[in-house]
């Protein structure tokens, strides 16, 4: 008992130490950033730190973007509107990719004929990056919301599909045998055995897909869109507002991070103690 308690306390100290270490590195990056801007460092790749805004300025701008009261311009307290618009596009694209990718992956993983029919097409389209789709999408869909959601859907779709497919293929045959000898067959096996058994892998795919959705957002929103974090960054670049670009980057990074946490927590609530998400 004593050793158990000690072990647990040790674990907590460990966690605290690790957190402190992580935060320390972040602070170090900010410090170097500040020093670099002041000292006008030129780094590898020709990074000219002098062109960057200092961290304090970015922090002020970020505050104003979120809560207003500092600069009183078009961007004051506008974060939530932009974030909301971007989030809804990400959710639409991610939702669509999930709604198509998961069932298709399950069917491909379970039925050789579905797999035979779709595998070549998937392998042909998969290597084309979403960025390469942009020019074509702008030509055949046109600037705007639909093009953005399409690009997000596309980029989230393949990791979701492929992870689902792999997870379904890796379901131990024993699980299926157990289901069958207990009196299940056909759709029962698919829905009550295969899908739950594959869920940890499917969830991994969803997380990767959601991450990519935020990645591609900036590209999608770069054209013909007024409201959205990507649109805001694009406009800031055109106006050579480096500080605003950095603020937009930070917000998108945080949004991507938080959406992953929300997804994992949400599934956690849904699954309870069931071991359905990879540790």
Task: For another protein, give the closer residue by CB, 175 or 264.
Answer: 175
Span of 13-21, 114-122, 138-146, 176-184 interacting with another protein by CB under 8 A: 176-184
Which residue among 5, 121, 183, 261 contacts another protein (CB under 8 A)? 183
Inter-helix orientation angle 112-125/79-110, to 10° = 140
Contact flag: residue 192 with another protein (CB under 8 A): yes
Min separation Cβ 271 and another protein, Å: 8
Which residue among 163, 199, 234, 259 contacts another protein (CB under 8 A)? 199
Task: For another protein, give the closer residue by CB, 161 or 194.
Answer: 194
Min separation Cβ 199 and another protein, Å: 7
Contact flag: residue 175 with another protein (CB under 8 A): yes
Give which of 140, 160, 165, 159 is closest to 150, Cα–Cα: 140
Min separation Cβ 195 and another protein, Å: 10
C-alpha angle 229-231-235 in degrees, rounded to nearest 5: 120
Contact flag: residue 167 with another protein (CB under 8 A): no
Contact flag: residue 186 with another protein (CB under 8 A): no
Task: For another protein, give the closer residue by CB, 9 or 274.
Answer: 274
Which residue among 1, 74, 140, 181 contacts another protein (CB under 8 A)? 181
Contact flag: residue 27 with another protein (CB under 8 A): no
Give which of 232, 237, 256 is closest to 73, Cα–Cα: 232
The DSSP H or E segment spanning 48 is strand 47-48
> Which residues lie closer than 8 Å to 114 by C-beta, 6 or more apart?
107, 108
Task: For another protein, give the closer residue by CB, 194 or 212.
Answer: 194
Rounded distance between C-alpha atoms, residue 276 and residue 268, angstroms: 9
Rounded distance between C-alpha atoms, residue 195 and residue 102, angstroms: 10
Span of 76-84, 175-183, 214-222, 259-267 interacting with another protein by CB under 8 A: 175-183
User: What is the largest distance, in Å, between two alpha-carbon atoms of the chain?
Assistant: 73
Identify any residues that bridge with 209 across adjacent strands, giving them in sequence order.
none
Contact flag: residue 267 with another protein (CB under 8 A): no
CA atoms within 13 A on the CB side of 94: 24
Q: What 3-state DSSP class applies to 129?
A: coil
Report CA torsion sign: 261, 266, 268, 274.
negative
Min separation Cβ 123 and another protein, Å: 24
Binding region for another protein (CB under 8 A): 174-175, 177-185, 188, 192-193, 196-197, 199, 273-276
């Amino acid at each position: 008992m004593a050793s158990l308690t000690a072990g647990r306390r040790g674990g907590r100290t460990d966690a605290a130490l690790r957190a402190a270490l992580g935060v320390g590195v972040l602070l170090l990056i900010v410090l170097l950033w500040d020093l670099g801007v002041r000292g006008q460092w030129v780094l590898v790749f020709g990074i000219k730190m002098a062109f960057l805004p200092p961290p304090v300025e970015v922090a002020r701008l970020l505050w104003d973007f979120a809560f207003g009261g500092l600069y009183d311009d078009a961007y004051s307290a506008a974060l939530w509107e932009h974030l909301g618009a971007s989030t809804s596009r990400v959710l639409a694209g991610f939702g669509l990719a999930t709604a198509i990718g998961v069932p298709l992956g399950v069917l491909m993983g379970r039925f050789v004929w579905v797999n035979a029919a779709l595998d070549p097409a998937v392998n042909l389209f998969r290597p084309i990056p979403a960025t390469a789709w942009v020019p074509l999408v702008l030509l055949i869909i046109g600037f705007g919301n639909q093009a953005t959601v399409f690009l997000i859907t596309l980029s989230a779709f393949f990791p979701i599909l492929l992870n689902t497919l792999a997870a379904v293929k890796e379901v131990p045959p024993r699980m299926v045998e157990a289901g069958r000898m207990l009196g299940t067959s056909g759709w029962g096996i698919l829905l009550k055995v295969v899908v739950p058994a594959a869920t940890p892998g499917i969830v991994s795919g969803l997380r990767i897909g959601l991450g990519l959705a935020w990645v591609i957002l900036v590209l999608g929103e770069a054209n013909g869109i007024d409201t959205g974090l990507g649109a805001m960054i694009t406009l800031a670049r055109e106006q050579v507002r480096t500080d605003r670009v950095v603020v937009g980057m930070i917000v998108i990074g945080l949004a991507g991070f938080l959406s992953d946490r929300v997804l994992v927590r949400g599934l956690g609530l849904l699954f309870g103690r069931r071991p359905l998400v990879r540790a």
